[in-house]
Every structure is written in structure tokens, then in C-alpha cells.
Amino acid sequence: MFLVNGHPAESISLADRSFQYGDGCFTTMLTRNGSIQWWPLHVERMNACLDVLHISRPDWNQVEVWLNTVIHKEQRAGVKLHISRGEGGRGYSPTQVASPNVTISDFIYPHHYEQWQDQGLQLGICQARLGHNPLLAGHKHNNRLEQVLLKAEMDRANLPDGLALDIDDQVIETTMANIFWRQGDVLKTPELSKAGVSGVMRRVILKWAAANQIAVEVGNFKLADVLAADEVFISNSVLGVAPICQIGEQAFAIGKITKRIQEMVNS
């Protein structure tokens, strides 16, 4: 089902600024038995991006009502919430725009995710590099062209996902998820002040690590740092947590921290 501002719809206006300029943001959520997982964190990350873009926040109580009309009641499914600045205003100036458009769509849970969670998946190494954009880094705004290009590169290589580095050859994320790895007793993940998306599940994992007194290093890392890891996993809101069994030619075993975090996420 598709909703635009709470009403069933099959299309949006050509004047919508998300279509014209990628002017908005979105989040993709897992539902379990009709309930959105980590809903407050999704609202928090949407508000942060809306504020940066100077788009007015919606009535979240109303948005939640709309979401509840499309959520599947089965064990696991997905729903995407997309907010654009709205319609109007020729050119980049947003001064002639009316009001934001809230679009909601549901989707079937990708069942191959279960295999990835149990057995892991292989990452390629993307040759294309992410640019730096500190103004919008960390936010899931509607312009995702870099991710489209990197994912297409992995599709051509017949790989499910790929490790994305930036123009300084720093590890940032994968084409679809945040990345973590353990080296010794320290859990490591890239900092995202210049590029990448700070996912909801990434935030969940970092809070869990702090609560369990697990040392975490959020910093700048090269590919060699990841390849030297004892275990590697990726995370996003719908996938949850999946171990990485191979990056390029380097193989990894499914590790103890990965399994612990999977138990936490699935509890």
C-alpha cells in the first residue's frame, strides 16, 4: 500500500521537490507483529535531518496513525517513511513551497536476510569512492546517487554488497549498511562526519556496547584495519545484524560479539 499524506495514492506530483532535487529525507523500518521496531530512534534521526534541511517536522502522532494503516501484521515486514519538502518553487529556492509531503509504503521482508544473518555474506571492495559532504554527512537525505552507483558496481561483480571508502581511502560503510568489526577486545566502527549514514541500528549497537562496558573506538580507519579484524559484521534497521564471512580474498569467522549483538537485536 502507498499513502501520500495519509491518503491512498499511486503517484506524486512532478512538482514535488524530492523528484526534482532529492529535497527531503527517509527512513526504512522493520515491523514485527504489527509493531515498528526502534520507532523513537527513527523519529529522532528523521527530526535531525529535517532540521538540517529546514523542513518543518510533521505531527508524529498523525504519522504513526498513518503508518499503522499499512503495517503488515505478520512476524516481520518493512515500511518506508519518506518526507519531501513539498511541491512548488521553480529553481533551488524553497520559498514558494507549500507544505511537506509524507509518503509511506510497505514491503515484504527480504527472506534472504535470514540466510545472511545465519551464514554471513561476502563483501566486495567498491572502486568508486564516496565524496565528502560534512553539511549532510550522517543523514539519510533523499539524494542517494553515490549509493546507487556503488551498488550497481557490486551488482556487476555479482556480489550482494560492497565496502565503501571515501576519497581519502577511509572506510565509511557498505552500500546498504553500517559496518563494525572487533579487534581484540575493542569494537570499532567508522566516524561519519564527512560521509556516510548514521543508521538507527548503529545507534542501538553503540548504546548496547556502552551499557555492557564494551570498549568502542569510533574513528578513521583504512581497509587494512578492517582486514586485520577478528570478526566483522554489518547492520541496518531491516537486516538487523549480519556477519561478514569474506571481504575480497580475506575470510572471517562468525564471532562472539556478532552473535551477542544478534541476540540483543532479536530479543
Question: What CATH code is carried by the domain that includes residue 35?
Answer: 3.30.470.10
CATH number of 160's domain: 3.20.10.10
Residue positions annotated with a catalytic role: 28, 140, 173
Letter string b/e over residues 110-126, b meaning 16 or more CB atoms within 10 A of that residue's CB: eeebeebbeebbbbbbb
Residue 73 has a pLDDT of 80
Distance CA 139, CA 135 (A): 9
Report how far apart the first and last C-alpha atoms of the chain are (Å, whole number).
29
Residue type, 251: A
Q: Which of 178, 258, 165 is nearest to 220 (CA)?
A: 165
One domain, residues 260 and 189: yes
One domain, residues 7 and 130: no
Structural domain boundaries enclosing 101: 2-109
One domain, residues 98 and 139: no
pLDDT band at 98 (very low <50, low <70, confident <90, very high): confident
One domain, residues 15 and 91: yes
- Per-residue pLDDT of 132-165, as tens digits, reads 999 999 999 999 999 999 999 999 999 999 999 9
In the chain, the number of structural domains is 2
Residue 89 has a pLDDT of 77
Residue 197 has a pLDDT of 98
**Site of grid cell 569494537:** 187
Q: Stretch 64-69: mean pLDDT, rounded?
A: 96
One domain, residues 87 and 101: yes
- Among residues 48, 74, 109, the one where a domain terminates is 109
Q: Which of 125, 154, 144 is nearest to 232 (CA)?
A: 125
Q: Stretch 17-34: mean pLDDT, rounded?
A: 96
One domain, residues 145 and 103: no
One domain, residues 102 and 13: yes
- CB atoms under 10 Å from CB of 127, counted, come to 10
One domain, residues 103 and 149: no
- Among residues 92, 109, 126, the one where a domain terminates is 109
Residue 74 has a pLDDT of 78
One domain, residues 99 and 123: no
- Per-residue pLDDT of 178-232, as tens digits, reads 999 999 999 999 999 999 999 999 999 999 999 999 999 999 999 999 999 999 9
One domain, residues 151 and 99: no
Residue 161 has a pLDDT of 98
